Structure 1
């Protein structure tokens, strides 16, 4: 009974994956001898109306760094629409069970040039290539329509080149690290990121936990130093009833702030700063919580809140950063989603975004969004 509740809750929050990722289960199968070939993707159109700011990025996602803080004037009432996040992918599995995936979308700084999302090969639990970071999970994600989603969700919510091994619920990887830089020094990548994750379900609950470590370094020709950067997250989802679920995540990093999703700026604040030739790491933390209620016949109501913050007090006191540097982002949303016909998803959403600087100045934005997605 509990496992059935979990399945029903996952259906109620399916927009977190169906509206955000193409499902290869519904892909178009192609004839190619003994090879299993699937073409998949979707056409996705998003329209937004920014009520009191102009903060849309490609895909009409809300950009925290465009929010006016302090006493600055804002321009009200901005409409935008695009199809940048439309997606196409090809999955090929050989008779020897070697799987290859290549996937593109067009969310590339509004240039409408194809953007490589995935390019990897996989065989007997070993995956090499560009894929979702192993330090990442969708288990606790809220079903927001915004393509960039809530701050504070689990891990970095992005893709990177890696070598990963998975056995059962456990996976480990060596990855190209995500780095936000060292203020006051020329940062350098001096090691891969090492990650380990467990992700599983039990009864009416799904859960994921992960740890990561990397070297954070700088070298400006006269001074150089390095420090140990690390992080951890915990994410989960629980089915309260057959139609209602709650899900969420908590995160912490030190010297690896790109691994707390949307912490400072729009996608991450500094990892560390140069303090007279010595590297000083910066801490960050975040969390997200959401709830979903299925209404039947492909309809659902979803709401959630996320926060991510960076501790910049010491960096500002040391003169490495100005007090008007963004340290905290928060977002809340409520939406209604429906499926008028198979493989078609639509939704309307209201979102409230707020950003704050280390010095205490803040700004906010209210926006409305409509989404239509046609999967194949």
Structure 2
């Protein structure tokens, strides 16, 4: 539920009797968000649970933050649409001693014209309608496709075809050195290609995507491919189901750091899933139960996230939410730990207040 302010600006040559030649429509939006988050366990504190993380002896922390606040602007000028959005998450300049400053972080900046999208936005692999409503930013990222990057995309009816920014995330074959050698991305010269088909109706929507990649680290050519299914399905009353299923050489596209593209020079295979059921108790109050998980073959990572929340609209623009959940790492052989598997879990509780602009 978003309230947006519209501003119309007339640009052009004027005469005594003529109207403006062109007009642009500006839409401003976003939200202010305040979080209170408590984490207790042996996985290091994160502002929101990604698919990464490290196991510690003890991780017990309370953190208040407003860094997830977000601002955006849309511009429409005839057949041309532009959109830009910033937030402040993950961009700390200060700390609790010095000012708690955060830098603006670019999320989206793209142009749309006659079915062509160019710029930075959600990867074509991402169906944002299949994100659960959560207090933890992004929800069960460990089981989702959650990538923003530069791309060029063509949309024709139900079909989308895209070339997206290539980037190989992983490690080189084992060497005599103790530390892992990260792959040099200087050979990322072939764009990733994605084909997506969308279908929607009164029942909701579903998307099926295929990813094709040519990875050439250290001049060792490898071809990767994967598939992704995402859906937002209406059930009883206003209730809905969010669903994502992913399989293949998806690497960085799925799990938000739960899987890499290549491990020790070997192409990684990822299996991931996310499920969320949202139930409306009243017109203003609803709850979501969600679960996400990613497993990989080569690195043998196993990451999961489960949570339950309740949200209520105090006003049409002001939402109060409370969430409890658990993030777990149960790796059999992680590159984060050379001598023993990484295994651990942390529980969390989060209170959020969000004011939509």
TM-score (norm 1): 0.79
Match of 1:245 among 240, 247, 271: 240
**Alignment match, 1:108:** 90
**CA–CA separation in structure 2 for the residues paired with 1:202 and 1:66:** 39
Provide the secondary structure at the position in 2 that maps to 1:177: coil
Provide the secondary structure at the position in 2 that maps to 1:181: coil
Structure 1 pair 124/151, CA: closer, same or farther in 2 (3 Å)?
A: same
2:31 equivalent to 1:48? no
Pairs within 5 Å for 1:316-327: 327=301
**Alignment match, 2:130:** 140
**Alignment match, 1:362:** 343
Q: Which runs of 4+ in 1 moved over 4 A?
A: none
Does the 8 Å contact 2:42/2:58 carry over to 1?
yes
**Alignment match, 2:179:** none
Gaps of 5+ in 1: 1-17, 314-325
Pairs within 5 Å for 1:305-320: 305-312=291-298
Q: Deviations over 1:320-359 (max 9, x none)?
A: xxxxxx7111000000001100111110000111002224
**Alignment match, 1:10:** none
Q: Deviations over 1:36-92 (max 9, x none)?
A: 1111111111110112346443xx213554442xxx62143x100111111111111
**Alignment match, 2:73:** 90
**Alignment match, 1:227:** 222
Does the 8 Å contact 2:147/2:253 carry over to 1?
no
Does the 8 Å contact 1:244/1:291 carry over to 2?
yes
Structure 1 or 2: more helix by fraction: 1
2:26 equivalent to 1:37? yes
Pairs within 5 Å for 1:192-231: 192-219=191-218, 224-231=219-226
Provide the secondary structure at the position in 2 that maps to 1:31: strand
Pairs within 5 Å for 1:2-21: none
Pairs within 5 Å for 1:117-196: 117-151=107-141, 153-155=143-145, 157-184=146-173, 185-187=183-185, 188-196=187-195
**Alignment match, 2:354:** 373
**CA–CA separation in structure 2 for the residues paired with 1:336 and 1:361:** 32
**CA–CA separation in structure 2 for the residues paired with 1:261 and 1:330:** 10
Structure 1 pair 62/138, CA: closer, same or farther in 2 (3 Å)?
A: same
2:279 equivalent to 1:280? no
**CA–CA separation in structure 2 for the residues paired with 1:75 and 1:99:** 45
Structure 1 pair 81/54, CA: closer, same or farther in 2 (3 Å)?
A: farther
Once the two structures are TM-superposed, the CA of residue 196 in structure 1 deviates from its matched residue by: 1.2
Provide the secondary structure at the position in 1 that maps to 2:196: strand
Does the 8 Å contact 2:39/2:59 carry over to 1?
no
Provide the secondary structure at the position in 2 that maps to 1:335: strand
**Alignment match, 2:62:** 79
Does the 8 Å contact 1:252/1:260 carry over to 2?
no
**CA–CA separation in structure 2 for the residues paired with 1:151 and 1:92:** 30
Does the 8 Å contact 1:151/1:308 carry over to 2?
no
**CA–CA separation in structure 2 for the residues paired with 1:247 and 1:75:** 31
Once the two structures are TM-superposed, the CA of residue 139 in structure 1 deviates from its matched residue by: 3.4
Does the 8 Å contact 2:44/2:59 carry over to 1?
no
**Alignment match, 1:298:** 284
TM-score (norm 2): 0.83
Once the two structures are TM-superposed, the CA of residue 247 in structure 1 deviates from its matched residue by: 2.3
Q: Which moved more, 1:80-89 or 1:171-180?
A: 171-180
| Count of equivalent residues | 320
Structure 1 pair 53/28, CA: closer, same or farther in 2 (3 Å)?
A: farther
Q: Deviations over 1:77-133 (max 9, x none)?
A: x10011111111111111x22111121111133231111111111111111111111
Match of 2:316 among 342, 350, 355: 342
Provide the secondary structure at the position in 1 that maps to 2:160: strand
**CA–CA separation in structure 1 for the residues paired with 2:51 and 2:125:** 23
